[in-house]
């Protein structure tokens, strides 16, 4: 507007200046050609030339406006549509955050293809549809988001897992996360899905990758205990499973204890238990050390008898020796060890094993007494 006004003022000034020149000194010009002639003053001729050039310029501009004007109008309309879509998207996202899912979807759908963030629009609409329980629409929105913007594949997968966990559908969450590279947040979602699924095999397979991104120790302990119980009696599977564990989990008292209990061939556990007892004296480990096999019986007896020098008043050690002596068919020594364990305040197992041993030796009255104590203490 300012430029046009300035141009108009310049034209008026030039016209006034030219009029002054004509009035003061009109001059004279004669143009003759093939019997035709034009005569006028010099300044009028100059004015005619200037008028001609101005008319040509205006004609040229009019032609360009006619030629390109339609494109300008189209661009204007598109800009207006995008601005309206932006307002609808903003309103839809606000309503989504407020929990107004029905209205949020209407606004997000209204933005449609005119939104400059169409894929993000579809993801937001998928969240709204999930909260409405419209599962078919949710999957459609997720698919449309990826079709509109292929770079949203990972975002759509993470959102799909999020929504699946909200629906208590861990299988769908694991499927959604199975095709993408995990980051810490996605790994946390996968960990939640595994906890919800109670599938120890899938959890064990996923743990090596999850350890690198999120803390898994507490979950790993729980799932490993489940796995060790499930594989009880299959020593090959138990050994593979135990070797695959992180050292912190492998050295967990609960895990090592369950591993030993699940083994059929107890020789596998002897060096592990002896090393654990050497690191830190633990009554539970010492009691387990008495659960022996014939192949390691001599090694265990020698080790346990050697521990008596420092731990003579430990009931768990006397219980352990009683088990080892009983396995060696040395009933008298076994009876003494179990009795000593009971005298030192030993566990229910000490009363139980002593009662059973006394029954085998025909001492039924004493046997019944210890078995009753075992039942009352259990």
- Ordered DSSP codes for 174-189: HHHHTTS---HHHHHH
For residue 298 the two structure tokens come to 């001599």
Residue 22: the pLDDT is 63
User: CB–CB of 286/320 below 8 Å?
Assistant: yes
Nearest residue to 374 via CA among 262, 358, 289, 325: 358
For residue 222 the two structure tokens come to 């729980």
CA 291, 293, 298 angle in degrees (round to 5)?
A: 100
Residue 159: the pLDDT is 93
Residues 6+ apart with CB under 8 A from 176: 157, 158, 160, 161, 164
Residue 126, judged by CB atoms within 10 A of its CB (0-12, 13-18, 19+), counts as buried
d(C-alpha 234, C-alpha 263), whole Å = 7
Exposure class string for 89-119: b at 16+ Cβ within 10 A, else e: bebbbebbeeeebeebbbbbbbbeebbeebb
User: CB–CB of 200/210 below 8 Å?
Assistant: no
Residue 71: the pLDDT is 57
Cα distances from 243 to residues 128, 203, 256, in angstroms, run 46, 16, 12
User: CB–CB of 338/354 below 8 Å?
Assistant: yes
Residue 236: the pLDDT is 92
Radius of gyration from C-alpha coordinates of the chain: 46
- Count Cβ atoms below 10 Å from residue 161 Cβ, excluding itself: 26
Residue 30: the pLDDT is 66
User: CB–CB of 289/320 below 8 Å?
Assistant: yes
Query: What's 39's DSSP letter?
Result: E
Residue 187: the pLDDT is 93
Residue 78: the pLDDT is 64
- Count Cβ atoms below 10 Å from residue 87 Cβ, excluding itself: 13
CA-based torsion, 287, 289, 291, 294: positive or negative: negative
Nearest residue to 207 via CA among 233, 234, 235, 226: 226
> Which region, left, alpha or beta, applies to residue 108 given φ > 0 means left and ψ of -120 to 50 means alpha?
alpha
Give me the helices (H) in the chain, please. 2-24, 42-98, 101-111, 118-132, 135-148, 153-166, 170-177, 184-197, 200-211, 217-230, 235-243, 247-250, 253-262, 270-279, 283-289, 297-307, 315-327, 331-343, 348-360, 364-377
Residue 165: the pLDDT is 93
User: CB–CB of 124/104 below 8 Å?
Assistant: yes
Q: 0.75 cut: is pTM over it?
A: no
* All structural domains of the chain: 216-264 (no CATH), 279-378 (1.25.40.10)
For residue 210 the two structure tokens come to 């999850």
User: CB–CB of 107/88 below 8 Å?
Assistant: yes
d(C-alpha 52, C-alpha 115), whole Å = 49
Q: What is the mean pLDDT of each run of 10 residues along the chain (378 residues)?
A: 71 73 64 70 70 78 64 61 74 82 83 75 89 90 90 92 92 91 93 90 89 87 90 90 84 87 89 90 88 88 91 90 89 87 82 80 76 72
Residue 42: the pLDDT is 63
């Amino acid at each position: 507007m300012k430029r046009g006004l300035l141009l108009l003022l310049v034209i008026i000034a030039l016209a006034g200046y030219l009029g002054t020149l004509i009035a003061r000194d009109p001059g004279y010009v004669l143009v003759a050609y093939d019997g035709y002639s034009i005569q006028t003053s010099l300044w009028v001729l100059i004015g005619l030339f200037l008028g001609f050039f101005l008319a040509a310029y205006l004609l040229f501009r009019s032609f360009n406006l006619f030629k390109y004007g339609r494109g300008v109008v189209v661009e204007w309309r598109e800009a207006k549509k995008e601005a309206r879509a932006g307002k609808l998207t903003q309103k839809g996202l606000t309503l989504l955050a407020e929990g107004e899912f029905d209205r949020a979807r209407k606004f997000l759908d209204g933005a449609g293809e005119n939104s400059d963030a169409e894929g993000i629009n579809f993801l937001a609409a998928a969240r709204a549809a999930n909260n409405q329980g419209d599962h078919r629409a949710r999957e459609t929105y997720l698919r449309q988001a990826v079709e509109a913007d292929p770079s949203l594949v990972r975002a759509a997968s993470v959102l799909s897992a999020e929504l699946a966990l909200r629906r208590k559908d861990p299988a769908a969450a694991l499927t959604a996360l199975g095709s993408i590279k995990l980051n810490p947040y996605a790994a946390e979602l996968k960990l939640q899905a595994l906890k919800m699924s109670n599938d120890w095999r899938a959890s064990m397979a996923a743990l090596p990758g999850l350890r690198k991104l999120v803390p898994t120790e507490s979950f790993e302990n729980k799932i490993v205990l489940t796995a060790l119980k499930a594989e009880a009696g299959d020593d090959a599977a138990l050994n593979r499973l135990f070797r695959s564990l992180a050292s912190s989990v492998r050295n967990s008292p609960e895990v090592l204890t369950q591993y030993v209990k699940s083994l059929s061939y107890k020789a596998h556990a002897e060096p592990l238990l002896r090393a654990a007892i050497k690191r830190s004296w633990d009554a539970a480990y010492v009691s387990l050390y008495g659960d022996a096999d014939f192949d390691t019986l001599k090694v265990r007896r020698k080790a346990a008898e050697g521990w008596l020098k420092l731990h003579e008043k430990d009931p768990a050690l006397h219980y352990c020796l009683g088990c080892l002596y009983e396995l060696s068919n040395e009933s008298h020594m076994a009876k003494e060890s179990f009795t000593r364990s009971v005298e030192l305040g030993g566990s229910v197992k000490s009363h139980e094993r002593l009662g059973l041993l006394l029954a085998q030796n025909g001492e039924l009255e004493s046997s019944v007494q210890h078995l009753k104590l075992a039942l009352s203490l259990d």
